[in-house]
Amino acid sequence: MGEHFLMAALSLLFLPIIVVVTLVITLATCGKSIGVRKWYVDLLLRIFEACKVKVQVANPSEELDNENDEEVSNETDAKADQIIEKDFFLSATKGVEKPEWRSSKKDFELSDVLYFSKCGMEAIIEDSVTKRFSAEELPSWNLLTRTQKPHQFMSVRLTALWCVGCFVRYVILLPFRLMIAIFGVVMLIVLTVLIGYLRESSLKRKLYRWASLVSFRILCRAFSCVIRYHNRENMAKSGICVANHTSPVDVIILSCDNCYAMIGQTHGGFLGVFQRSLARATAHIWFERSEARDRGLVAKRLRSHIADPNKLPILIFPEGTCINNTSVMMFKKGSFEVGSTIYPIAIKYDPRFGDAFWNSSKHSYSQHLLELMTSWALVCDVWYLPPMTKLENEDAVAFANRVKSKIASRGGLVELDWDGGLKRSYVKETMKEVPQEQYSKILKVD
């Protein structure tokens, strides 16, 4: 009797879960939505605003200061994320840029040594590069402990709300998301394996397109994604697409709306399984970054790919590494040497609902996915920009910089000319020589 009662209770418990998961998967397969995720995101925004007010007015002694701060907020917004104010700009290609040094040549002064020392210390305290490789700091708390700045005061109500949020994210949402993610991954692997046995034909391409769109839409539901696509008339049907890079999840976000061939570094673990399953069904290009001979082979395969109008548009992240979605760093010139027409895509995540940035030096891909699944949601905007063509006498570097500027401008990101590879490597000697050579040119020589 007791066993029958337990089985009945478990059946009643799991029946709603199975119904909800089945409904989510069915809607994702059809590419439809009933608006639950949008309602959920709107509710979160109202909660965040209430928490923001609660934190701001929690300490009465700070209310007067807050009122005074509002009067000058417009003047300080642009510098809100700066620790110190600098009188110079440090560029990867132009060295130390100081306005007073542009007008005319100057005599050598011993104080210049102190000035360069000051520049070095200020760069150590704060620079525009290394902070792009860590999670973006938020102006107000989003009830996630991994993004919380230390507060001097925390009310009982706000703490209780955080506890409720933990329960919702870990006990209610996470199991649902895990089931949806497992189903999506298994479905993608099984379908790509089966499609891989077919001969190259229009039927195989149509089947892969359907399998890719359906599988990635299901995977998007596993992160409670709310994606707004803009200017879809500019979506590529073939050729080269380039986008700024925040996380491998960028691929899932973009593949919900279009079907792409991928190019990127070979990975191990779960991400490696993902790559190999995709490669079975269509022409993706995976390479080993450390192998110099791979570069020539990749360029050759890339040219062959874009020359075939029947092949999918190939998606490239020219930064070569993940950046925290506050800036766009240097685009590698390789993909801009191969194709004369580029389809730019700008991706901007809303950090209030969760940090989409993958810090690969600290977390594995599985840990990154778990962080995303235990966040509130993934909310982002995707802009398809008009195709850009290389100008006459324009080299690959200039073309890459022009495309990067368009993406940064459209996504509201800071444009930097520094190489994202600095995350893993030392600064090249040639870059150190740039400010030395620049300083020597402004000195008067008898």
Confidence of residue 60 (pLDDT cuts 50, 70, 90): very low
Q: Who wins on pLDDT, 357 or 340?
A: 357
pLDDT attached to residue 255: 94
Across 256-281, average pLDDT? 84
**Residue 164 above 50 pLDDT?**
yes
pLDDT of residue 430: 73
**More confident: 77 or 202:** 202
The mean per-residue pLDDT over the stretch 282-295 comes to: 72
Q: Residues near 138 by Cβ (< 8 Å), separated by ≥ 6?
A: 147, 149, 351, 352
DSSP reduced 3-state for 35: coil
Q: Does 4 reside within a domain?
A: no
Residue 274 in any domain: the answer is yes
pLDDT at 96: 61
> What CATH number is given to the structural domain containing 238?
3.40.1130
Give the separation between CA 309 and CA 228, rounded to whole angstroms: 28
Instruction: Please give the Cα distance from 357 to 322 (Å, whole number).
Output: 7
Q: Which stretch of 137-151, 178-192, 401-415 has the lowest confidence by average pLDDT?
A: 137-151
Pairing of strands 89-91, 261-265: unpaired
Q: What is the pLDDT of residue 292?
A: 52
In a domain, 24, yes or no: no
Identify residue 333 by its one-letter amino acid code: K
**Among 263, 258, 381, 394, which residue's Cα sits nearest to residue 337?**
394
**166, part of any domain:** yes
Q: pLDDT band at 100, cuts 50/70/90? A: low
Whole-number percent of the chain with pLDDT over 90 = 34
Across the range 93-102, mean pLDDT stands at: 59
Q: Distance between CA 316 and CA 345 in Å, rounded? A: 10
Q: With contact defined as beta carbons under 8 Å apart, do 232 and 381 qualify?
A: no
pLDDT level of residue 289 (50, 70, 90 thresholds): low
Distance CA 287, CA 267 (A): 9
**And the tokens for 136?**
């973006």
Model pLDDT, residue 74: 41
Q: What is the structure's pLDDT at 244?
A: 95
Q: Where are the beta strands (DSSP E) in 168-256?
A: 225-230, 240-243
Residue 63 has pLDDT above 50, yes or no: no
Q: What percent of the chain has pLDDT over 70?
A: 80
How far is the first Cα of the chain from the last one, in angstroms, to the nearest whole number? Answer: 104
More confident residue, 25 or 75: 25
pLDDT at 58: 47
What's the pLDDT tens digit per position in 384-406? 999 999 988 889 999 999 999 99
Averaged pLDDT for residues 91-111: 63
pLDDT tier at 156, thresholds 50, 70, 90: confident
Query: b or e along 427-444 (b: 16 or more beta carbons within 10 Å of the residue's beta carbon)?
Result: eeeebeebbeebbeeeee
Whether 51 maps to a domain, the answer reads no
pLDDT band per the 50, 70, 90 thresholds, residue 67? very low
Q: Answer yes or no: is 326 within a domain.
A: yes
The predicted pLDDT at position 382 comes to 97
Weakest-pLDDT range from 73-87, 153-167, 290-304, 397-411: 73-87
pTM for the structure as a whole? 0.83
Give pLDDT tens digits for 324-342: 999 999 998 888 888 778 9
Contact at 8 Å (CB) between 245 and 298? Answer: no
Residue with tokens 């779960």: 270
Alpha-carbon span 9 to 19, nearest angstrom = 16
The rounded distance, in Å, linking the Cα atoms of 240 and 171 is 42
Provide the residue range defining the domain that includes 345.
156-417
Mean predicted confidence (pLDDT) in 360-375? 89
- Number of domains comprising the chain: 1
pLDDT tens digits, 107-146: 777 777 777 777 777 777 777 777 788 877 777 778 776 5
Q: Is the pLDDT of residue 33 over 60?
A: yes
* Predicted local distance difference test score (pLDDT) of residue 405: 94
pLDDT at 68 over 60: no
Kindly state the average pLDDT of the residues 236-253: 93
Bigger pLDDT: 230 vs 272: 230
Query: Residue range 225-235: average pLDDT?
Result: 94
Instruction: Look at residue 355 and tell me if it is in a domain.
Output: yes
Is 214 part of any domain?
A: yes
Would you say residue 321 has pLDDT above 50? yes
